Amino acid sequence: MPRVAFLGLGAIGTPMAKHLARPAFDLAVWNRTPSKAEAFAAATGARQAATPAEAARDRDVVVTCLPVSRDVEALLDGPDGLLATMPAGSVLVDCTSGDAATSRRMAARLAERGIGFLDAPVSGGVVGAEQGALTVMIGGDEATLERVRPVLESFGKKIVHCGGVGAGDALKAVNNALLAMHIWGTAEGLVALEKAGVKAEVALDVINTSSGRSNASMNLFPDRVVTRAFPRTFRLALLDKDVGIAAELAREQKIVAPLLQLTSELFRLAHSELGEEADHVEAVQVVERLGGAMVG
Ligand code: NDP
């Protein structure tokens, strides 16, 4: 039975980790706030570890899912850190939507000790994680991917090797920048239509059978905006981070990408206005305030 550790029992980490509990896997969990790991262990039979080092001891695979890559990097060092116990031959699979530069730095440090590294950000949201139907974007060595494939397939339906270390991070950031553009652009269009006398339900009905449709118009706006439900599943702060990574990628590659840079600025504005706990779809409320009308 593969021995796995999972670190980071947040909104998406928790449903991912549930697929790694017994009987298929021998699972140890660690979370910064211990009460969450305690509750998870009680519900699933996983073993709660007091430190990252304790979680990683004797594990074949360590999976991390934290807000940013630097949070993962900070768990490597010190007597309680992952490097204190991760055995040579094991693999760190980082499911954080991270940044390529930090991933490459971590991969190099782990390689010095014979430990593998994959950046493995996911898409599909909390519902996809619950259903074990995530898409997993892999950066790193293909042979390493094959070694950990059963772990990835427990929560992922589509596992895609994207390139070397950092390639998964880069692709995930661009995907989420597109999500952000669709949310903001759809909000602007629907606010303008509301003011022109066209109701959001009517507009979405047409857009969703026409060429302007997107996941935002087909799912997020009908389910979360028109209903004013705005459930908190993916923090705006994290989407702001993702668009920032995509904008930085474009700058690094010396690409003229005004839309990416502007979207990054707009989501930074929304994040600073709405705070750390707001959901990403709540950015629509900033567009509504600026436009002086509500969607729906
Ligand atoms: P949450 O904010 O819900 O959870 C974050 C987790 O990381 C918590 O377990 C938190 O611990 C822990 N954490 C935060 N800061 C630190 C730190 N400095 N050191 C150690 N642990 C820390 O985030 P999500 O679960 O939503 O997201 C995790 C990653 O997955 C992000 O990179 C995000 O962009 C990505 N993602 C999220 C999706 C979603 O739908 N939610 C979809 C796809 C990707 P504590 O309990 O102590 O706060």
Same domain, 160 and 233: no
Q: Is 82 in the pocket of ligand 1 (CB under 6 A)?
A: no
In a domain, 227, yes or no: yes
At 28, is the secondary structure helix, strand, or coil? strand
CB-ligand 1 contact for 66 (6 Å cutoff):
yes
Q: Does residue 123 share a domain with residue 158?
A: yes
For residue 203, give the CATH number of its domain.
Answer: 1.10.1040.10
Q: Hey, which residues are catalytic here? A: 172
Are 108 and 202 members of one domain? no
Whether 104 and 235 map to the same domain: the answer is no
Index of the ligand 1 atom closest to the CA of residue 13: 25
Asked if residue 18 belongs to a domain, the reply is yes
CATH code where residue 71 lies = 3.40.50.720
Query: Atom of ligand 1 at shortest distance to CA of 234?
Result: 41
Residue 238 Cβ < 6 Å to ligand 1: yes
Point out the domain boundary residue: 129, 150, 165. Answer: 165
End-to-end CA distance of the chain: 51
Q: Is position 296 within any domain? A: no
Please tell me whether residues 218 and 98 are part of one structural domain: no
Query: Cα of 9 to ligand 1 centre, how many Å?
Result: 7
Instruction: Indicate whether 257 belongs to any domain.
Output: yes
User: pLDDT tens string for the chain (296 positions)?
Assistant: 899 999 999 999 999 999 999 888 999 999 999 999 999 999 999 999 999 999 999 999 999 999 999 999 999 999 999 999 999 999 999 999 999 999 999 999 999 999 999 999 999 999 999 999 999 999 999 999 999 999 999 999 999 999 999 999 999 999 999 999 999 999 999 999 999 999 999 999 999 999 999 999 999 999 999 999 999 999 999 999 999 999 999 999 999 999 999 999 999 999 999 999 999 999 999 999 999 999 98
Query: Among the three residues 137, 165, 193, which one is the final residue of a domain in this structure?
Result: 165
Overall domain count for the chain: 2
- Cα 96-98-101 angle, rounded to 5 deg: 145
Ligand 1 mean position, distance from CA 66 (Å): 4
137 near 245, Cβ under 8 Å?
Answer: no
Domain range for 191: 170-291
CA angle 105, 57, 3 (to 5 degrees): 95
Q: Does the beta carbon of 13 lie inside 6 Å of ligand 1?
A: yes
For the question of an ipTM over 0.95, the answer is yes
Do 107 and 174 fall within a single domain?
A: no
Residues 234 and 272 in one domain: yes
Q: Cα of 18 to ligand 1 centre, how many Å?
A: 15
Indicate if 225 and 151 belong to the same structural domain: no
Say if residue 59 is in the same domain as residue 152.
yes
62 is a domain residue: yes
Give the number of the atom of ligand 1 that is nearest the alpha carbon of residue 238.
Answer: 34
Pair type for strands 3-7 and 26-30 = parallel
Strands (E), the chain: 3-7, 26-30, 47-48, 61-64, 91-94, 116-119, 122-123, 134-139, 156-163
Instruction: Answer yes or no: do 32 and 178 share one domain.
Output: no
Confirm whether 265 is domain-assigned. yes
235: which strand partners? Answer: 279
Does the N-terminal peptide bond of residue 23 adopt cis geometry, omega within 30 degrees of 0? yes
Q: Is 126 in the pocket of ligand 1 (CB under 6 A)?
A: yes
User: Got the DSSP string for 97-161?
Assistant: ---HHHHHHHHHHHHTTT-EEEE--EESHHHHHHTT-EEEEEES-HHHHHHHHHHHHHHEEEEEE
* Co-location of 124 and 196 in the same domain: no
Distance 19 CA to ligand 1 centre (A): 17
